[in-house]
Amino acid sequence: MIICVPVTPSGTVDPSWGRADRIAVTEVVDGAIINWNEHDTFWNTRHDDGSHGSHHARIAKFLIENKVEEVVANHMGEGMVRMMETMKIPTHLGAEGEAKAAVLSL
């Protein structure tokens, strides 16, 4: 399972999905993380570059390119939640604390 989570430099769940500067793309097999890659997305800086639609498209492209199957996050705006539903990517909101633990809690 390929799971995506926004992370801070200290390894905790970033409280904002759409404005996260770093995203971890993880692969979980049999309850263990076998792959963990962090990507500098700069979504916080890029959030206001253009319309919300273009920002959502940027995130959708990232998810597709990384073959993300589920997302763990603390918070996500209504428009982003709708986009995830349209993409059929399950989201698990309310995550806090250590990002790896949040991924493994699924």
Q: Per-10-residue mean pLDDT for the chain, 106 residues long?
A: 98 94 98 98 67 78 98 96 97 98 96
pLDDT reported for residue 55? 80
Model confidence, pTM = 0.91
- Annotation: CATH topology of 2-24+48-104: Nucleotidyltransferase; domain 5 (3.30.420)
Sequence ranges of the domains in the chain: 2-24+48-104
pLDDT reported for residue 80? 94
Angle at 13 between CA 45 and CA 25, to 5 degrees: 80
Residue 101 backbone dihedrals phi, psi, to 5 degrees: -65, -40
Query: SS3 for 94?
Result: coil
pLDDT reported for residue 42? 80
